[in-house]
Amino acid sequence: MKIGILGGGQLARMLALAGYPLGLDFVVLEPAADACAAPLAGHLRAAYDDSAALRQLAAEVDLVTYEFESVPAAAVEQLGMSLPVFPPANSLATARDRSHEKNLFRELEIETAPFVEVHDLQTLQLAVEQIGLPAILKTRTLGYDGKGQQVLRAGDGLQVAWEAIGQVPAILEGLIEFEREVSIIAVRSACGELAFYPLAENVHEQGILRLSTCLHNDSHQPLAEDYARRVLERLDYVGVLAIEFFQVGSHLLANEMAPRVHNSGHWTIEGAETSQFENHLRAILGLPLGGTAAVEHAAMVNLIGELPDVPAILGLKNTHLHLYGKAPRAGRKVGHITIREISEQALQERLLQLNKVI
Ligand code: AMP
């Protein structure tokens, strides 16, 4: 069985690594020559909307999935005419636009921060009156890792913020004073089987995920699973889906969803019975899902911008290094580290040791 992946970055690379023991092969469609999944897969080097390349991909593989949500809708439509594409196109269309995404949450009675659509300077002014300040202005599409966002506080010039996000369709959201950011990784198979991983608590630095810690028996787990189930079932979803939440008291406010394997689920490679990557593959192939329970206590630290001191990291017990084979560049995720320990206390102690060497 050969699987096509749109995108050839680290998520595609880790999907391939999870798929080889299951006897799967991979082809990635990815324009960059130095795609980090390329050494593990066939590499079709072309733009995502190159219809000849899409035809070639469809001829070479049995099934297509993707590792990012900004895939052109026309590409998914073209591929969908000749072979299965999972997760389904409607989930891409929803997740790539913050307004559609938040409207879906609203429709499913999943709480969110208050938000209003912004089309120009005038509607931004009206949105500020409605939402109040502080607030956060976000482009509807192509925003990730804190890009395409502008925090607005009392006294800030609206024109400056509007220009800073590139004067493109946006939403204005109330700025939430959350206690924690958490995410759930959920999975639904082509046969309708559902599974949920334990919540992860996420810490961001400059808008980029830095640390994810798997939570054991968190009191918000049932609510997160209920919310995720509503989304999975509404979209007739197949594959792994991540939803990020702001936690305020007993409430979870959905911030965004990703119709793919997600950075806050990387801890599952060593920290769960089955990784999110393997379960995504099982789900899209209609195979039984693997267990999602945590094995001991786990946390994942992203390596951002520079390569680490490898011997120092490997010298720490119960510490697992994943390098993606990417050249370091400011703000770029070049790898991650997962720590797995028998207790919460041991995990925190190991994290302190790790922080001294990265
Ligand atoms: P996003 O691209 O929506 O995931 O935003 C990146 C990060 O910005 C989030 O993980 C939060 O730390 C912060 N952020 C985004 N939206 C809000 C909000 N409405 N209130 C407070 N913080 C936010």
Expressed in angstroms and rounded, the spacing between residue 18 Cα and the centre of ligand 1 is 30
The answer on pLDDT for 161 being more than 70 is: yes
Domain 180-355 is found in CATH 2.60.40.10: no
Model confidence at 311, pLDDT cuts 50, 70, 90, reads very high
Predicted confidence (pLDDT) per residue in 287-299, tens digit: 999 999 999 999 9
Class of domain 114-174: alpha beta
The answer on pLDDT for 145 being more than 80 is: no
If one residue of 173, 209, 255 were mutated to test the ligand 1 pocket, choosing by the most ligand atoms within 8 A of its CB, it would be 255
- Report the nearest atom of ligand 1 relative to the CA of 148: 2
Task: Give me the mean pLDDT over the 5-27 stretch.
Answer: 98
Q: Where in the chain is the domain with CATH 3.30.470.20?
A: 180-355
Q: What is the pLDDT of residue 144?
A: 66
Helix (H, G, I), strand (E, B) or coil at 55: helix
Task: Give me the mean pLDDT over the 324-341 stretch.
Answer: 97
Minimum CA distance residue for ligand 1 atom 9:
207
Model confidence at 321, pLDDT cuts 50, 70, 90, reads very high
| CATH number belonging to the domain at 2-85, selected among 2.60.120.10, 3.40.50.20, 3.40.30.10, 3.40.50.11540 | 3.40.50.20
Q: Where in the chain is the domain with CATH 3.40.50.20?
A: 2-85
pTM score? 0.97
For the Cβ of 101 lying below 6 angstroms from any atom of ligand 1, the answer is no
- Report the nearest atom of ligand 1 relative to the CA of 174: 19
Among candidate residues 356, 310, 308, the one with its CA nearest the CA of residue 333: 308
Reduce the secondary structure of 258-308 to three states and give it as a string.
ECCCCHHHCCHHHHECCCHHHHHHHHHCCCCCCCCCECCEEEEEEEECCCC
Predicted confidence (pLDDT) per residue in 48-74, tens digit: 999 999 999 999 999 999 999 888 989
For the Cβ of 30 lying below 6 angstroms from any atom of ligand 1, the answer is no
For the Cβ of 161 lying below 6 angstroms from any atom of ligand 1, the answer is no
In angstroms and rounded to an integer, the radius of gyration of the C-alpha atoms of the chain is 20
Quote the CA–CA distance of 137 and 158 in Å, as a whole number: 10
Locus of tokens 């040791």: 353
For 84, the enclosing helix (H) or strand (E) is none
Average pLDDT of the chain is 96
The fraction of the chain above a pLDDT of 90, given in percent, is 96
Contacts for 12 with CB less than 8 Å, ≥ 6 apart:
5, 26, 28, 30, 35, 37, 41, 67
The fraction of the chain above a pLDDT of 70, given in percent, is 99
Quote the CA–CA distance of 94 and 105 in Å, as a whole number: 10
Q: Where in the chain is the domain with CATH 3.30.1490.20?
A: 114-174
Expressed in angstroms and rounded, the spacing between residue 180 Cα and the centre of ligand 1 is 11
- Report the nearest atom of ligand 1 relative to the CA of 255: 3
